[in-house]
Chains A and B, each alone.
Chain A
Amino acid sequence: MTPLPGPADPATRTLMLWCPDWPITAALREHALPADTALVLVDRGEVFACSPAARQDGVKRGLRIREAQARSTGLVSLPYDPSLDERTFEPVTAAVETIMPGVQVLRPGLCAVKVKGPSRYYGSEGKAADVVFRTLAAIGLTDVRIGIADGPFAAEQAARATDQDPDADRLVVIPPGRSPWFLGSYPLEVLEQPRLTVLLKRLGIRSLGDFAALKASDVRNRFGIEGALAHRQASGLDHRNVVARKPPPHLDTTADFEPPLARIDQLAFAFRAPAGGFVDTLREAGLVCTALHVSLHTESGEVSERRWQHPRWFDADDIVDRVRWQLQGTHASDHGLTSGITRVHVAPDVVEDLSDHADGLWGTGPDEGIHHGLARVQSMLGHGAVLTAIIAGGRLLADRRVFIPWGDAPPAKAPGKDRNQPWPGRLPGPAPATVFADPVPAAVVDSRGNPVDVDPRGLLSADPAFFRAGPDDGRRPVHSWAGPWPINERWWDPTGRVLNRFQLVDQSGSAWLLLLEDHAWWVEAGYD
Chain B
Amino acid sequence: MQASTLDSRRLPTVPALARILPGGGLQSGGSYTVRNSPALAMALLAGPSSAGLWCSVIGVPDFGVEAAQGFGINLERLILVPDPGSQWLTVTAALVDVVTVILTRAPEHLAPTEWARLKARLRQRGAALITLGAWKQSDSTLGVAESAWEGLGAGTGHLTARRMKITATQPSGRLRHAYVGLADLQGTAPGTASQGALLPQGLQPGAAPGSASTALFG
Contacts and interface: CB of A to CB of B under 8 A. Distances in A.
Nearest to B156: A482
Interface string A382-422: 00011111110000010011010010000000000000000
Residue with the greatest number of chain A CB neighbours at <10 A, chosen from B39, B67, B156, B159: B159
Interface in B43-82: 54, 61-70, 75-76, 78-82
Nearest to A387: B80
B79 A482 contact: no
Nearest to B92: A377
B150 to A, nearest CB: 9
A433 B67 contact: yes
B119 to A, nearest CB: 19
Contacts of B69: 391, 431
B159 A429 contact: yes
B66 A391 contact: yes
A480 B66 contact: no
A478 B98 CA distance: 44
B6 to A, nearest CB: 24
27 contacts: A376-B94, A377-B81, A380-B90, A385-B81, A386-B81, A387-B82, A388-B75, A388-B80, A389-B65, A428-B198, A430-B161, A430-B162, A431-B67, A432-B64, A433-B38, A433-B68, A434-B64, A435-B64, A460-B155, A480-B149, A482-B152, A482-B155, A505-B149, A509-B148, A511-B152, A526-B38, A528-B144
B190 interface: no
Interface string A508-526: 1111000000000000011
A481 B154 contact: yes
A483 B155 contact: yes
Contacts of A400: 66
Nearest to B37: A528
B198 A429 contact: yes
A99 to B, nearest CB: 53
A463 B154 contact: yes
Contacts of B75: 388-391
Contacts of A429: 151, 158-160, 195, 198
Residue among A388, A433, A481 with the most chain B CB within 10 A? A433
B97 interface: yes
Contact of A377 (B95, B147, B157): B95
A199 interface: no
B64 A505 contact: no
If over half of A's interface residues share one DSSP class (helix, strand or loop), that class is named, otherwise mixed; here it is mixed
A430 B182 contact: yes
A385 B83 contact: yes
Interface of A: 366, 369-370, 372-374, 376-377, 380-381, 385-391, 397, 400-401, 403, 406, 428-437, 460, 463, 480-483, 503, 505, 508-511, 525-528
B147 A510 contact: yes
Interface of B: 36-39, 42, 54, 61-70, 75-76, 78-85, 87, 90-91, 94-95, 97-99, 144, 146-149, 151-162, 182, 195, 198
Q: Considering the complex of A and B, which 8 residue pairs feature the smallest CB-CB distances, nearest first?
A: A373-B98, A509-B147, A433-B39, A431-B67, A431-B66, A435-B64, A389-B65, A433-B38
A481 B152 contact: yes
B195 A388 contact: no
Contacts of B156: 482
Contacts of A431: 64, 66-67, 69-70
B103 to A, nearest CB: 11
Contacts of A381: 81, 83-85, 87, 91
Contacts of B154: 463, 480-481
Nearest to A528: B37
A310 B90 CA distance: 23
A433 B95 CA distance: 23
Most chain A Cβ neighbours within 10 Å, of B65, B90, B162: B65
B25 to A, nearest CB: 21
Given A430-B67, A527-B39, A380 B157 contact: no
Contacts of B157: 482
Contacts of A481: 152, 154-155
A140 to B, nearest CB: 45
B80 A436 contact: no
Contacts of B82: 385, 387, 403
Contacts of B42: 433
Contacts of B80: 386-389, 403
A373 B152 contact: no
A210 B37 CA distance: 85
B63 to A, nearest CB: 8
A503 B94 contact: no
A143 to B, nearest CB: 50
